[in-house]
Structure 1
Amino acid sequence: MTVASGIGKASGPEAGAVLAGAGFGLAASVFWAFYNTGTDLGRSWGFSSLDLMTLRFVVASGLFLPLLMFGHGRLAGGAAEATGRLPLVKLAVLTICIGPPFTLLINTGYGIAPLAHAVVIGPGMTMLTANALSVILDRRPMPMARLLGLLLVSGGLVAMALEQPTSKTPGVEVWLGDLCFIGSGMLWGIFTYLSARWQLDPVRATGVVTIVSALIVLLPFWLLLAEETPPVSAWLWQGVFQGVLGGCLAILAYTRSVALLGAGRSAIFPALVPPLAVLLAIPLTGNWPSVTQWSGIALASIGLVVSLDLLKNGWWAKPGKGH
């Protein structure tokens, strides 16, 4: 059954909600793809991991602060509680998972390994980690489709690991960059698992962690700022890539998609990030993936899609299913 036929069975407001949810989901995928490609560009422009990390959190915090104060309830679709405090222990754990440690790892990896490795290894490890924690800690049975998807994702990771191109940093092996992507992917996977286990409001949790992270990184940034830095125009571009697109808009768009479509159907959109990022890199950076990289991207992307069990959670799912 096609997307169109799935939407066709819905009427009026329901069809509009599906279309809107699809639009927000696609927007989130594009924002994340630009963020990944922009980070790769930023490292080639001479930005350090700390520079990019500071831009991400400072710019995004400036966008999240008024949202949390005034407009969060409406943008969250009314599905999440817009008030209440995040306990200190949970805030500390989340700051480790998606704050400075996560960002430092992924930015460092971009300075060593190619973009194609980042967009496959990171999301792949996120999926593997979140599912493993769910099975081990919550003892939830794993559907056959998800197990097959995990095997395909693992195949994509292995394909990437087998190819070790020239490192972007002389004297540093590419596999060290891959380890950075493995670490950042695992941290985001832990965040994904904890968000569901703790029933966190994703916009509020991400916004608070972003603001706390900005306060943490500002002092080291000023102390370690190099005398020679990229031009102002490059800083502005990276502010857009890091803070506006990756740190804020992608999260808001994806959260809105989940509110309209449910978690099951919305989960398809992150699977679009690897091929989108690699395709964007062709005109923006001039980098064409190798055959091995294309193979890894294809395996991981198919695995991410298969794991969602589209026969059950696809666009054609009846209202109430796949949520």
Structure 2
Amino acid sequence: MPVAPRLSPRTIGIGAAVITVLVWTAFIVIARASAARSLTPFDIAVARMCGASLVLMPWGAWLVRQARREAGGGPVVSSMFGLSPLSLRVTAIGGAFGGLGYALLAYSGFFYAPAAHASVLLPGSLPLWTTLLAAVVLRDRITPLRATGLALIVVGDLLVGGSSLLHAFEGGEIWKGDLLFMSAAFCWACYSILARREGLDAVRATIAITVFATLTFVPVYALLVTAGWATSHLGTAPMGEIAFQMLFQGLGSVVISGITFTRMIQYFGPVRSTMITALVPGLSAFAAVILLGEPLHWSLLAGLLLVTGGILFGVQRARPNAPAAAAPLVRATGKADA
């Protein structure tokens, strides 16, 4: 039987980046559209966690059992009742930021602010948070070239949603959504830095944060709803809407983009990865114009050009760093992944 060719780390990294950008773009548009329907933001978060858990919890249990068989009775790294293949410390930190914090903050933001704000403040502020955290935690130096790329991205993102951001504090509750979006981006930046520092395997990391978020939030939310301290529409919403949220938010946003985002970090590094995701503001803004009827301004086109230029500055040195990015995988899995 002919052996299928193995993909190079560069091919996997680029492919993971493309999938991540597409899913994140769809996430912004769909989450904003969902805010006008039946479910509350916490309902959508529950659908996200439960949908992802249907795939990831059995997967995690299988990985732990397999590791125990291979260890022959020796110690095996696992936590959360044998469902997470990572230690409790890494599972809890990653789950608190990348699984629980990001979902609750982001979905809540869409109920206050439009997609244009999310386009700017979710992926747009991510490079800034990640750069600052990488400099502090990873001792990553901010080079002049990287600073130039970040500056272009920031200016481009402001142009994409600047017209709406200028009116954020004139009244109403839009500022709440803006604050929630920036907080959600900070949570995801924390997770990306953790993934890089610990050399997390893409699949194991995604399983771990989902297990933590599901086992900690879903039971507490159910108790709050039962006691009347929280409002849920899961019992009255159409089943088709719930199934769609479980499929897209769970399988798409968590399982697929969670794995591809971590793979992207392993090749490009956390800072360059978040620069690549800076494509999302322009793409999601265009999608919001077409699908949600949001207005199209000249600043959208100018902003997209600046963001693209910032990405070119930020990622043009990704190739020399690729061998170093593969090193943590050996520590995390015991063998190098291709």
Fold shared per TM-score above 0.5: yes
- Tell me the distance in 1 between the aligned counterparts of 2:38 and 2:291: 16
Distance 1:21 1:52 in 2: 30
The structural deviation recorded for 1:176 is 2.1
Paired residue for 2:58, among 53, 66, 84?
Answer: 66
Note if contact 1:38-1:238 (Cα within 8 Å) is conserved in structure 2.
Answer: no
Q: Using the alignment, how far apart are the partners of 2:41 and 2:245 within structure 1?
A: 12
Q: 2:49 matched to which residue of 1?
A: 57
SS of match in other structure, 1:112: coil
**Which amino acid counterpart does residue 234 of structure 1 have in structure 2?**
E
Residue 313 (structure 1) aligned with residue 318 (structure 2):
yes
Distance in 2 of aligned mates of 1:166 and 1:225: 31
Quick one: distance in 2 between partners of 1:219 and 1:25? 34
Q: Which residue of 2 aligns with 1:33?
A: 25
Q: What TM-score do you get using the length of structure 2 for normalisation?
A: 0.73
Distance in 1 (CA, whole Å) between partners of 2:125 and 2:255 is: 22
Structure 2 match to 1:225: 232
- Whichever residue aligns with residue 43 of structure 1, its letter is A
Whether the aligned pair in 1 keeps the contact of 2:33 and 2:292 (CA below 8 Å) is yes
Aligned partners of 2:204 and 2:313: how far apart in 1? 30
Structure 1 pair 21/209, CA: closer, same or farther in 2 (3 Å)?
Answer: closer
User: Does residue 1:253 correspond to 2:260, yes or no?
Assistant: yes
CA contact (8 A) 1:151 1:303 kept: yes
Counterpart for residue 84 of structure 1:
77
- Alpha-carbon distance between aligned partners in 2 of 1:242 and 1:166, rounded to the nearest angstrom: 30
2:268 is equivalent to residue 263 of structure 1: yes
Q: Look up the match of 2:164.
A: 163
Q: Deviations over 1:38-81 (max 9, x none)?
A: 11111121321101111111111111123334479xxxxxxxxx
| Matching residue of 1:238 | 245
Query: Residue 286 and residue 228 in structure 1: after superposition, are their counterparts in 2 closer, same or farther (change >3 A)?
Result: farther
CA contact (8 A) 1:51 1:221 kept: no
Q: Contact (CA 8 Å) 2:49, 2:213: kept in 1 or not?
A: yes
**Cα deviations across residues 239-258 of structure 1 (Å, max 9, x unaligned)?**
22211110111123344566
Distance in 1 separating the partners of 2:276 and 2:210: 23
Q: 1:219 to 1:124 in 2, by over 3 A?
A: same
Does the CA contact (< 8 Å) of 2:53 and 2:211 recur in 1?
A: yes
In structure 1, the partner of 2:119 is: 119
**Unaligned regions of 5+ residues in structure 2, if any?**
65-75, 79-85, 226-230, 327-338
User: TM-score scaled by structure 1?
Assistant: 0.76
Displacement after TM superposition at 1:108 (Å): 1.3
Q: What is the number of residues matched between the two proteins? A: 294
- Displacement, 1:19? 5.0
Q: Does the 8 Å contact 1:119/1:273 carry over to 2? A: yes
- Amino acid paired to 1:275: G
What is the SS of the residue equivalent to 1:163?
A: helix
Q: Percent of counterpart pairs with the same letter? A: 24
Establish whether residue 103 from structure 1 lines up as the match of residue 103 from structure 2.
Answer: yes
